[in-house]
Amino acid sequence: MSFGRLAGAVLGCFVIYKKVFSDITMSSEPLKFIDLFAGLGGFHYALKQLGCKCVFASEIRADLQQLYLRNFPDTNIHGDITRISPADIPPHDILCAGFPCQPFSQAGKREGFKDEERGNLFYNICNILEYHKPKYLLLENVANLMGHDGGNTWNIIKTKLTEIGYGVKSEILSPHQFGIIPQHRKRIYIVGILRDKGNIDNYQFPRTRPELQCDINKIIDINDTNIQTLKPEIYHHLSVWQEFIDHIIENNDRIPQFPIWAMEFGATYDYLNKVPAHQRLSEINGKRGAFGHVINGSSLNECLAQIPNYARTGKDEHFPKWKNRYIEQNREFYRKHKKWLDRWLPKIESFKNSHQKFEWNCGIKASPTLEDKIIQYRASGIRVKLPTFIPALNLVGTQIPIFPWVQLPNVCIVPGQPTKGRFLSVKEAAKLQGLHNLDFDYTVPGYPLSVTRIFEALGNAVNATLVKHIAKRLICL
């Protein structure tokens, strides 16, 4: 290929790239959109950057309405969408909605459309689409929506949107797949075009970049002083678990890839033939329970209180296979390392149940240290992962990721306390959701949200950066 032809090809690619990924002004008359179940305004944030104008928003929670108006002061925002007639909503070109995900989420009850309070809100969206017939629709929900109820839920949604007149496409995407935003957050994105006004067959979702690796350090602001430092008990937890790791390495073994349930070390109660709750008193009394202590009780309930909490359930006569496997793996690990574990175990017995569990999600090649890893306190245990991307921000404000290696600003250092280690900050969490410039100055008196509430809202928000790239391709057709 000649230099001239090569230059022309490169220029052509640049023009296409610029059309898809640069901010654009659609026309002298901006496209109008509505933002339903608006939350923090992720859709608003993204579409505003594309030159679009919000003409209506709906958010049922009063504190989020206040925050929305603080960031988008000219918005016509209302409350409960079920109390608003489609006729009272202004005409618009794009309908955006991150409709409630809890009915379909693995973390929720997964009742779907049977959830009378939230599951049927999809039909409110349909009523608005039928009345206004906007050219575009852009919806977001949890990835589990696609497989919920054996795929029936997604079939209902797609069929209903098709009946209203829309060509529809969907894709499950996560910000980390593009190597830009270090958050693993798989969500289903649904785009649609009114068939009378366009052809959805021409639409392509942004291409993922599996060859690119994220780096959590790109969003960390070492100068941020609005931070939550670690309590002494967290430093203690991590110190004890680091000692656990050190012992493993000293004994020429690998850090287990299965969840560590320390209360199972030394236990001998029977769990394979029948779960303890279905056994007779004589079958469980005298066996060894949590941390290898001998079970001694005058009733079955007294005995059950002496075994690990995850083994006390009596709903079914047998544990699921995965639980049997984890119990056996932990018992085998104990048999292999009994000598040093018996000396180490007393250090952890006073911890809360969830802190007695440990999950190493870093593989076998990672350095055997906690200081350079992301730590997250979860109900399933203290989870450790590589500093590439964090798990999805969620609705539980107590599961904020910890960065042990981050140096604290001088003004945040307490004399005699460690100078490194803190939680993900609000500012950094906003970056993970593509909401870099929103007002989250919760230090101002009278601010509508607490820090915990902000994290909950960010965990429920749509990712503005990903929405922006998806929407660009849609409105460019």
Tell me the DSSP string of 143-212.
GGGTTGGGGHHHHHHHHHHHHHTEEEEEEEE-GGGGTSS-EE--EEEEEEEETTT--GGG--PPPP-TT-
Is residue 82 a contact partner of residue 121, using CB atoms and an 8 Å limit?
yes
Same domain, 37 and 78: yes
Half-sphere exposure of residue 21: CA atoms within 13 angstroms, side-chain side: 9
Is residue 435 in some structural domain? no
- For residue 95, give the H/E element and its range: strand 94-97
What CATH number does the domain containing 31 carry? 3.40.50.150
In a shared domain, residues 146 and 229: no
> What pLDDT shows up at residue 314?
83
335 membership: H or E segment, kind and range: helix 321-344
Query: How buried is residue 443: exposed, middle or buried, by Cβ count under 10 Å (0-12/13-18/19+)?
Result: exposed
381: region left, alpha or beta (phi > 0 left; psi from -120 to 50 alpha): left
Question: Worst-scoring range by mean pLDDT, 3-7, 243-247, 255-259?
Answer: 3-7
pLDDT of 74 higher than 60? yes
Is 101 marked active-site? yes
At residue 302's C-alpha, the angle toward residues 296 and 304, to 5°, is 95
Does 235 lie in the same domain as 156? no
The string of DSSP letters for 210-259 reads TT----GGGT--TT--S--BPPHHHHHHHHHHHHHHHHHHHTT-PPPSSP
Mean pLDDT for the stretch of residues 280-294: 96
**How many structural domains does the chain have?**
2
Mean predicted lDDT score pLDDT of the chain: 89
In a domain, 361, yes or no: yes
Q: Quick one: 393 and 256 in the same domain?
A: yes
Q: Is the dihedral of CA 432, 438, 443, 449 positive or negative?
A: negative
CA max distance for the chain: 90
pLDDT-derived band at 12, boundaries 50, 70, 90: very low
In a domain, 414, yes or no: yes
**CA 32 to chain CA centroid, nearest Å:** 30
62 and 169 part of one domain: yes
Give the pLDDT confidence of 181-230 residue by residue, as tens digits: 999 999 999 999 999 999 999 999 999 998 888 999 999 999 999 999 99
177 and 120 together in one domain: yes
Whether 283 maps to a domain, the answer reads no
Which member of 101, 214, 303, 362 is catalytic? 101
Position 348 in a domain: yes
Per-residue pLDDT at 451 exceeds 90: no
User: For residue 389, what are the domain limits?
Assistant: 222-273+320-424
Please give the helix or strand (H or E) that residue 36 lies within, else none.
Answer: strand 32-36
The answer to whether residue 450 scores a pLDDT higher than 90 is no
Q: Are 154 and 264 members of one domain? A: no
User: Could you tell me the pLDDT band of residue 116, with boundaries at 50, 70 and 90?
Assistant: low
Domain boundary among 399, 424, 449: 424
- Per the model's pLDDT, the better-predicted residue between 215 and 398 turns out to be 215
pLDDT score for 99: 82
Q: What is the pLDDT of residue 399?
A: 85
